[in-house]
Structure 1
Amino acid sequence: MNSTASHPTPLLRTVVGEITPDSVRGPVLAHEHLVLDLDHKGDGAAVLAPDRHAAAVTAELAALREEFGLSLVIELTCRGMGRDVETLARIARDAQVAVVAATGWYYEPFHTPEIDDSSVEQLTGTLVREIHGGIGATGVRPGVLGEIGSHGDTPTAPETKVLRASARAAVTTGLSVATHAQLGRGGLAQLDLLTAEGLPPQRISIGHQDLLDDPAVHRELAASGAYVAFDTVGKDSYQSDGTRLRLLLALLEAGHADRVLLSCDISRHGYLTTEGGQGYGHLFHSFLPQARAAGVDEDLIDLMTRRNPLRFLTGASVEEI
């Protein structure tokens, strides 16, 4: 009996119920926000509001499903980031695109009060209860931990506490962890903290590595077995797509195509196409055609945009998906 038969690939937990990985036939956006409120400045820019923007978000996802077969979005808005899973469920139903919701805490400036007042064990308990029992009274259960944040080369003490609690919750529940590494920095430190708690590297995605122009770090993360997220594609104010493509090609040439995740990290309403932004489809409309022109074939694109994110979520092996 083969390993797939002995250990069936886990189901994907979406905001409208569980689905099988083999039902996801088209690409996956591995790190997005569909509803969000990070408005600490009071200017309303870092917002995707349910009442003002959900219709535009839904329309974009539906159009991408029609044109490119978009099948699933990993939505990494967690505690303290304006998470609204009821709106996520409505978007998923109306767009006919599966959505995985998240739990956890972002990086320190956005921590909620319980971080300071709770131990690692208490924070772990909070996450495990939400994963098993659902978010609030909605009944919607998270399918991933993320985006678990830190900033700088070394996580702060509160960020370290959150990373450790997230790893423990992941080990207990069988979910995976997606991180926020501010401007791409600190990924190796995040990986060390998470794996020290017993979380296997293949259940970890280190975020925003396309903002770090350091191929050696990317290779080290990938060689460990962790996923390397090039997940801010199109955010030219942070990094040009030309640099992103160069870094991606270097990682592919080093033999690590099976560790790459791709997405756009839409995190403010000005990024929506209705407001003149690049939108959730920038990956498909612009970046992937550039990758194809540089010699990346369709099997590699399917690997990076579908099989890898499914394997990240489920812990499946290369052979299983």
Structure 2
Amino acid sequence: MDERSPARCLRTVTGALPPARVRGPVLAHEHLALDLSRGGDTAAVLDGRHRAAVTGELAALREEFGLALVVELTCRGMGRDVRALARIARESGVAVVAGTGWYYERFHPAEAAAASAEELAGELVREIGADGDGSGAETSGTGGGIDGTGVRPGVIGEAGSGGDAPSAAEVRTLTAAALAARATGLSVATHAQLGRGGPAQLELLTAAGLPPYRVSIGHQDLLDDPGVHRELASAGAYVAFDTVGKENYRSDGARLRALLALLEAGHAKRALLSCDISRYGYLTAEGGTGYGHLFRSFLPRLRAAGADEDTIDLLTRRNPLRFLTGGAGDATAESAAGSPADPEEP
């Protein structure tokens, strides 16, 4: 497969969006519609019963904090519903980027079991389209896209593995993600179970020819290993602190210390932030911390620890936009995100 230049417009579920129009923060890893109940967790669901609550939360965050974009990483085998995403985006006024690819092996659908990495990559390319026009709008009757809706993914993810090293099946799906990313210009966001296996994921993806700056390694705030965070960032990948507020896994205090260590090591341009709302109990309507926990709780603590507003904007807007557009720090990517170019980036 031939490398394509990354499309500079974001592909959202309601149409192409120039990055320069994204003036508010971005949630880099969320779920608005999903169903993981077949894995045995009946609470890991966000469906039609919760749609009004999800929409209401996003609309309120747009009004209060200027929330501009959500990167929705529900992919194949996770109960993806892009028609629901399009409705949520239109009704909340918050743009949504949809994902594709395969989660970790426990949730692989049958299609992932028998095909080669190249065959799986071809399936992703057909779903994404490789025209590079940034279009992602739902277009009735056009076919193609995700489930024949005409909606095109704007990111590959969350492409997963479930341990310190990917299983044979996960090697194939992650390799497929890298090959499809090369062919279409999209970036890859991963699921690293409990933060483990990030270096192995990055090694596999880059071995397939994907530049590290087009990779975000997920759930690193669940891993108590600043050395791994520095290793990933030094290699050029994004380090996702994307389970903010999930105190039952790890305290936000520990997350904050790990993030500050990464910033102090000089890697502010490689961190992404989000909450990974992945069950209805996390919604504020159900008594949870909700999508806004990042803005209402974690960022104030980060400011109190010394982060200035430029750093906050970098973490919550410019970094995710650079990741999504495949920017390597060149003038086009940086100016599109509303910041000067940074020639020292890889």
Matched residue SS, 2:300: helix
Q: Tell me: CA distance 1:9–1:127, structure 2 relative to 1, closer, same or farther (3 Å).
A: closer
Paired AA for residue 173 in structure 2: V
Q: State whether structure 2 residue 189 is matched by structure 1 residue 178.
A: yes
Q: Deviations over 1:235-263 (max 9, x none)?
A: 00000000000000000000000000000
Match of 1:104 among 69, 76, 101: 101
Q: Does structure 2 conserve the Cα–Cα contact (< 8 Å) formed by 1:102 and 1:144?
A: yes
Match of 1:229 among 226, 240, 244: 240
Mapped partners of 1:95, 1:161: distance in 2? 37
Please report the TM-score for the alignment, with normalisation by the length of structure 2.
0.89
Q: Does structure 1 conserve the Cα–Cα contact (< 8 Å) formed by 2:39 and 2:107?
A: no
Q: Matches of residues 216-295 of structure 1 in structure 2 within 5 Å?
A: 216-295=227-306
Q: State whether structure 2 residue 71 is matched by structure 1 residue 60.
A: no
Match of 1:39 in 2: 37
Mapped partners of 2:256, 2:158: distance in 1? 23
Match of 1:88 in 2: 85
Matched residue SS, 2:37: coil
Paired AA for residue 34 in structure 1: L
Paired AA for residue 27 in structure 1: P
What is the CA-CA distance between 1:310 and the residue it aligns to?
0.2
Match of 1:147 in 2: 158
Mapped partners of 1:243, 1:48: distance in 2? 28
Mapped partners of 2:99, 2:284: distance in 1? 25
Match of 1:167 in 2: 178
Q: State whether structure 2 residue 312 is matched by structure 1 residue 304.
A: no
Runs of 4+ residues deviating >2 angstroms:
40-44
Mapped partners of 1:55, 1:176: distance in 2? 30
Q: Does structure 2 conserve the Cα–Cα contact (< 8 Å) formed by 1:59 and 1:95?
A: yes
What is the CA-CA distance between 1:43 and the residue it aligns to?
5.5
Q: Tell me: CA distance 1:223–1:267, structure 2 relative to 1, closer, same or farther (3 Å).
A: same
Q: Deviations over 1:64-121 (max 9, x none)?
A: 0000000000000000000000000000000000000010000010000011110111
Matched residue SS, 1:40: helix
Q: Tell me: CA distance 1:45–1:8, structure 2 relative to 1, closer, same or farther (3 Å).
A: closer
Structure 1 stretch displaced more, 181-190 or 109-118: 109-118
Match of 2:27 among 23, 26, 29: 29
Mapped partners of 2:30, 2:103: distance in 1? 14
Mapped partners of 1:116, 1:41: distance in 2? 17
Mapped partners of 1:159, 1:301: distance in 2? 34
Mapped partners of 1:113, 1:271: distance in 2? 30
* Cα-Cα RMSD: 1.2
Paired AA for residue 148 in structure 2: A
Matched residue SS, 2:54: helix
Q: State whether structure 2 residue 199 is matched by structure 1 residue 188.
A: yes
What is the CA-CA distance between 1:195 and the residue it aligns to?
0.2
Matched residue SS, 1:136: helix
Mapped partners of 1:198, 1:8: distance in 2? 14
Q: Tell me: CA distance 1:8–1:147, structure 2 relative to 1, closer, same or farther (3 Å).
A: closer
Mapped partners of 2:13, 2:80: distance in 1? 12
What is the CA-CA distance between 1:161 and the residue it aligns to?
0.4
Matched residue SS, 1:252: helix
What is the CA-CA distance between 1:44 and the residue it aligns to?
2.5
Q: Which runs of 5+ in 1 are unaligned?
A: 1-6
Work out the percentage of aligned pairs sharing the same amino acid.
Answer: 73
Paired AA for residue 237 in structure 2: A
Mapped partners of 2:236, 2:99: distance in 1? 22
Matched residue SS, 1:229: strand
Q: Which runs of 5+ in 2 are unaligned?
A: 130-143, 338-346
Paired AA for residue 106 in structure 1: Y
Match of 1:17 among 2, 15, 18: 15
Match of 2:110 in 1: 113
Mapped partners of 2:54, 2:171: distance in 1? 33
Mapped partners of 2:86, 2:174: distance in 1? 27
Mapped partners of 1:131, 1:41: distance in 2? 27
Mapped partners of 2:326, 2:76: distance in 1? 24
Paired AA for residue 30 in structure 2: E
Count residues in correspondence: 314
Q: Does structure 1 conserve the Cα–Cα contact (< 8 Å) formed by 2:226 and 2:262?
A: yes
What is the CA-CA distance between 1:8 and the residue it aligns to?
9.6
Q: Deviations over 1:34-73 (max 9, x none)?
A: 0010003556300001x20011000000000000000000
Mapped partners of 1:42, 1:172: distance in 2? 35
Q: Deviations over 1:269-314 (max 9, x none)?
A: 0000000000000000000000000001110000000000000000
Mapped partners of 1:317, 1:109: distance in 2? 33
What is the CA-CA distance between 1:316 and the residue it aligns to?
1.8
